[in-house]
């Protein structure tokens, strides 16, 4: 087990606290493997009735994954360590998705990328006034992964496309509105909520309902009509044209957000949404995302995006290609091709197919 996690149990409730505060608890390979090891152990333990996942301290639940490892792997070992990370992370995501015991995820603070992957599979997802939810992968030339190909297309209207292409951040009330959270609870009540769950794990739903507060008005709801209209086209070029043809300040802001992101990321995300319709279950979606991830980290856009956002921090990435029109269907399709024999992603044998 890694020191980057606090893993323990309170009577019949197991508890994982992410403990990497300087990195806002971004997931490392060791963290993914240790979480899975603990979950598999509790899966076989009849004394454990439920699992809670939260963060030990700091301003966020989980800011994502180990981007530095992925970039270094792409530049140093042909992506081998990167693929190892994705394989372990996606196994963890799938294990949580299929977990037969109730899981409660406390999305208190920053919940992005990898943090989305370990919270969205949970039966109970708690948002607070501190929640900042986003899938910002387009800014670094990656793509919305960790199950986003399953979750985002299932959000109301065109909300999923909007989040994938703009990297927009949602607060706790907006997460509740969109269905990304099941409950909205003030952060000052969380310690008591956890104590009550530990005392009465069979009553998790009732306890969460009891402590829930009325969420503020979801700001995104005010723009739902525009989102559903302007993000309805099936192509990136169509969405950009729709935004350009709308003279509202909101459309101008979102157009700038879309055009700042990696064009290949945007096209892959849209294809990912379409391909998900053919995924027979969540495991098939994760296998698809593994193929995408294995190739996206090897493209120049990924190293360039990380450089611009996290290394030099000039926020001026030079995407290749920079014009969506220069990305044809064959280029996108190649990202989705099957992996070589013996290299496909596989779930844990103990995880039920779903």
* Catalytic positions: 65, 114, 137, 145
Whole-angstrom Cα distance, residue 352 to residue 350?
6
Reference 335, options 287, 291, 277; nearest CA is: 291
Coil/strand/helix, residue 305: helix
Coil/strand/helix, residue 62: strand
Coil/strand/helix, residue 95: helix
Starting at the edge strand found earlier in the chain, the sheet holding 60-62 runs 60-62, 110-112, 132-134
Q: b/e string for 56-85 if b means 16 or more Cβ within 10 A?
A: eebebbbbbbbbebbbebbeeeebebbbbb
Contacts 24+ apart (CB under 8 A), 313-321: 317/139, 317/141, 317/262, 319/141, 319/262, 319/263, 319/264, 321/263, 321/264
Strands 13-18 and 5-10: antiparallel
């Amino acid at each position: 087990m890694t020191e980057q996690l606090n893993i323990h149990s309170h009577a019949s409730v197991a508890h994982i606290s992410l403990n990497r505060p300087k990195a806002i608890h971004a997931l490392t390979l060791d963290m993914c493997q240790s979480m899975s090891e603990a979950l598999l152990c509790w899966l076989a333990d009849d004394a454990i009735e439920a699992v809670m996942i939260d963060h030990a301290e700091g301003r966020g639940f989980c800011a994502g994954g180990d981007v530095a490892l992925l970039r270094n792997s792409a530049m140093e070992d042909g992506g081998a360590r990167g693929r190892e990370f994705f394989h372990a992370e996606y196994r963890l995501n799938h294990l949580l998705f299929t977990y037969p015991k109730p899981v409660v995820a406390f999305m208190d603070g920053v919940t992005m990328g990898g943090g989305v992957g370990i919270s969205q599979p949970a039966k109970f997802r708690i948002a607070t006034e501190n929640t900042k939810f986003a899938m910002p992968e387009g800014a670094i030339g990656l793509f919305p992964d960790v199950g986003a190909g399953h979750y985002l297309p299932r959000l109301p209207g065109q909300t999923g496309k909007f989040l994938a292409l703009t990297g927009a951040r949602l607060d706790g009330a907006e997460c509740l509105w969109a269905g990304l959270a099941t409950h909205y609870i003030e952060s000052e009540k969380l310690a008591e909520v956890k104590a009550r769950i530990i005392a009465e794990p069979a009553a998790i739903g009732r306890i969460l309902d009891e402590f829930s507060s009325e969420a503020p008005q979801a700001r995104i709801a005010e723009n739902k009509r525009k989102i559903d209209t302007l993000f309805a086209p099936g192509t990136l070029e169509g969405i950009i044209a729709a935004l350009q043809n709308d003279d509202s300040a909101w459309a101008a802001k979102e157009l700038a957000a879309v055009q700042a992101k990696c064009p290949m990321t945007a096209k892959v995300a849209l294809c990912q949404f379409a391909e998900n319709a053919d995924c027979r279950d969540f495991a098939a979606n994760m296998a698809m995302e593994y193929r995408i991830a294995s190739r996206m980290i090897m493209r120049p856009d990924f190293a360039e995006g990380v450089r611009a956002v996290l290394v030099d921090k000039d926020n001026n990435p030079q995407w290749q290609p920079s014009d969506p029109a220069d990305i044809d269907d064959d280029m996108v399709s190649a990202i989705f091709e099957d992996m070589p024999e013996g290299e496909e992603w596989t779930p844990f044998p103990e995880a039920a197919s779903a």
